[in-house]
Amino acid sequence: MSTDQNAFASIADELKTTADAAAFVEKVTSADLPSEAVRIGTRCVLDGLGLYVAGSEEHSVELLIEDAEYVAGRGEALLLGRGETKVPASTAARVLGTAGHAHDWDDSQVSCDPAHVYGLLTHPTIPPLTSALVMSQQLGNVNGHAFMLAFLTGFEIECKISEWMLPQHYLRGLHSSGTVGTFGAYATAAKLLGLKGDNLRSGFGIAASLAAGIRCNFGTMTKPLHVGRAAENGVTAALLAARGFTADPDALDGPWGFYAVHGGGVSAEKVSQGFGKIWTIVEPGVSIKPYPCGVLTHPTIDLMLKLVTEHDVKADDIAGVKVYAGTNILKPIRYPIAANHLQAKFSLPAALAMIGLVRKAGKREFSDQFVGSPAMQSMQRRISTELDPEIEKLGFDKMRSRISIHLKDGRTVEGWADERYRGGPENPLSDGDLEAKVRSCCEGVLDRDRQASLIDAAWSILQSKSAGRLMEIINKV
């Protein structure tokens, strides 16, 4: 460990962020929620609901549904994709959370800190939203205001822990959506259960020991399972804490706490921000994804779309494509040729091949059938990536890349990706675009009337008398 890391680790020994987190969860009220946080939070809820529907078709999710049916248990919350079938809340959370992340289409936490690699924090919505949905069903009397308060509480806890911990957490190979997402799900469930005092702090300790997820599983079924387990484990931690199950009351802090063990320490300067003073969902914000793949690919996909559209480049015109970027993009987006849709989510050649072929990169294109087609396999082999030393020198506070498309007639079409990428806080999707995304998520699963009901229910969540009924729309009950 370096001298700086030792210094940060020693700071973690002195901090009491577990106590602060528990106090925030216990005391925050709807009156404390900024209107902008509620507005953005409602958009995140709508986005998440659509993603559950999209994920319900995934083979990985179907396997989890079959397992949940086999194990069965007390009927507390609806099992995704199985109508009126109910299973224990934690089991329902595992399936639902995995579905929400199955397409890698869920939102991304933003950081303006150059010490962090932009785009490599958490997918913040799905763990706390999943927790809110299953606990609302178990409790049965959760109105829209309580639902939104619990969701935003978990969202804030998750994002602050992710931002404050040193970036070594992710760089070591841990997947923060799985690890830190556990705290988001826990805080939401704890808020709805009304946990207080020692029980509440013990729950953070239980969550800290359950948190898991490693990046070697990117491009496989287990990557979205990280988020499903985060939701399941967060709910489990809250239910155990409610029963009086004990854990270290300062499990985030100290030499053996979560920050030190998982990330090598914590930034004291950032910790001084506190919880809920500046809400992360508002500042620096959240990115709602236009494409179902790693957010690090999105500016490059948009650039490819711009180049082929403006220059009317047809698939047969392309002799080769070279993508230039830094290691912040090229290392995580690691598949040179994608053999299936899971690998395609972490492959620039795959995503750009989709654009080159059909000028789209949506749910249909990110399918095994499309990715494995001869046209896709051929086009991918015309696309390569290369480390650009000049881009590398600019740092990792933005997602920077450039493209050169070499045409068969000898011409070259090239350009730089827009750092104000579509979907990010500086260039967000409009409400209309978000609704269109949700409809595309639901295509083939819910009919148009059900889609409209889902969208209307999300926009009017604060007026709901029973927020758990959102699952009835998704499950066509």
Q: Are residue 215 and residue 242 in the same domain, yes or no?
A: yes
| CATH number of the structural domain spanning residue 308 | 3.30.1330.120
- Mean pLDDT score of the chain: 94
Which amino acid, one-letter code, is at 164?
Answer: W
Nearest partner of 356 among 387, 385, 383, judged by Cα: 383
Q: Are residue 286 and residue 196 in the same domain, yes or no?
A: yes
Percentage of residues in the chain having pLDDT higher than 90: 88
More confident residue, 60 or 12: 60
Instruction: Characterize the bridge pairing of strands 86-87 and 286-287.
Output: unpaired
Answer with the one of 416, 432, 465 that is the final residue of a domain: 416
464 located within any domain: yes
198 located within any domain: yes
Residue 9 pLDDT class (50, 70, 90 cuts): very low
Which helix or strand (DSSP H or E) is residue 385 part of? strand 383-387
The rounded distance, in Å, linking the Cα atoms of 349 and 168 is: 28
Q: Are residue 49 and residue 189 in the same domain, yes or no?
A: yes
Cβ contact 176:108 at 8 Å: no
Provide the greatest CA pair distance for the chain. Answer: 72
Whether residue 197 is predicted with pLDDT greater than 80 in this model: the reply is yes
Whether residue 10 is predicted with pLDDT greater than 60 in this model: the reply is no
Q: Are residue 95 and residue 163 in the same domain, yes or no?
A: yes
Whether residue 5 is predicted with pLDDT greater than 70 in this model: the reply is no
pLDDT digits (tens, 9 = 90+) for 154-187: 999 999 999 999 988 988 999 999 999 999 999 9
State the pLDDT at residue 297: 95
Q: Are residue 320 and residue 252 in the same domain, yes or no?
A: no
317 located within any domain: yes
Q: Are residue 178 and residue 300 in the same domain, yes or no?
A: no
Whether residue 1 is predicted with pLDDT greater than 50 in this model: the reply is no
The rounded distance, in Å, linking the Cα atoms of 307 and 405 is: 8
The rounded distance, in Å, linking the Cα atoms of 162 and 165 is: 6
The rounded distance, in Å, linking the Cα atoms of 304 and 402 is: 9
State the pLDDT at residue 402: 98
438 located within any domain: no
Instruction: Characterize the bridge pairing of strands 86-87 and 77-78.
Output: antiparallel
Q: Are residue 283 and residue 148 in the same domain, yes or no?
A: yes
pLDDT digits (tens, 9 = 90+) for 365-396: 999 999 999 999 999 999 999 999 999 999 88
Within the chain, how many helices (H) and strands (E) appear?
A: 24, 8
Q: Which two tokens stand for residue 254?
A: 């100290």
More confident residue, 50 or 116: 50
DSSP, collapsed to helix, strand or coil, labels residue 388 as coil
310-341 in b/e burial notation, b at 16+ Cβ within 10 A?
Answer: eeebebebbeebbbbbbebbbebbebebbbbb
Whether residue 12 is predicted with pLDDT greater than 60 in this model: the reply is no
422 located within any domain: no
Q: Are residue 307 and residue 222 in the same domain, yes or no?
A: no
| CATH number of the structural domain spanning residue 141 | 1.10.4100.10
Q: Which two tokens stand for residue 361?
A: 């990169």
Average pLDDT over every residue of 55-76: 97
Cβ contact 249:202 at 8 Å: yes
Which helix or strand (DSSP H or E) is residue 412 part of? strand 412-416
Average pLDDT over every residue of 341-365: 96
Q: Are residue 409 and residue 458 in the same domain, yes or no?
A: no
192 located within any domain: yes
Q: What is the per-residue DSSP string for 392-411?
A: HHT-SSS--EEEEEEETTS-
* Residue 391: domain span: 295-416
Q: Are residue 303 and residue 285 in the same domain, yes or no?
A: no
- For 314-383, the three-class secondary structure string (H helix, E strand, C coil) is CHHHEEEEEEEECHHHHCCCCCCCCCCHHHHCCCHHHHHHHHHHHCCCCCCCCCHHHHCCHHHHHHHCCE
State the pLDDT at residue 304: 98
Polymer length of the chain: 477
Whether residue 14 is predicted with pLDDT greater than 70 in this model: the reply is no
Q: In what order do the strands lie in the sheet with 383-387?
A: 383-387, 318-325, 401-407, 412-416
153 located within any domain: yes
State the pLDDT at residue 13: 55
Q: Are residue 151 and residue 243 in the same domain, yes or no?
A: yes
Q: How many CB atoms lie within 10 A of CB 275?
A: 23
> Which residues make Cβ contacts (< 8 Å) with residue 82, sequence separation at least 6?
65, 69, 475
DSSP, collapsed to helix, strand or coil, labels residue 214 as strand
Residue 7 pLDDT class (50, 70, 90 cuts): very low
Average pLDDT over every residue of 449-461: 98
pLDDT digits (tens, 9 = 90+) for 309-319: 999 999 999 99
What angle, 0 to 180 degrees and rounded to 10, lies between the N-to-C axes of helices 17-27 and 144-164? 170
Number of domains in the chain: 2
Q: Are residue 264 and residue 401 in the same domain, yes or no?
A: no
Residue 3 pLDDT class (50, 70, 90 cuts): very low
Half-sphere exposure at residue 137, Cβ-oriented, CA atoms within 13 angstroms: 27
State the pLDDT at residue 112: 79
Whether residue 398 is predicted with pLDDT greater than 70 in this model: the reply is yes
382 located within any domain: yes
Tell me the CA distances in angstroms from 114 to 118, 177, 284, 328, one per residue in order.
8, 20, 13, 12
Whether residue 308 is predicted with pLDDT greater than 50 in this model: the reply is yes
Alpha helix ranges (H) inside 243-290: 258-263, 268-271
pLDDT digits (tens, 9 = 90+) for 272-293: 999 999 999 999 999 999 999 9
Instruction: Characterize the bridge pairing of strands 383-387 and 318-325.
Output: parallel
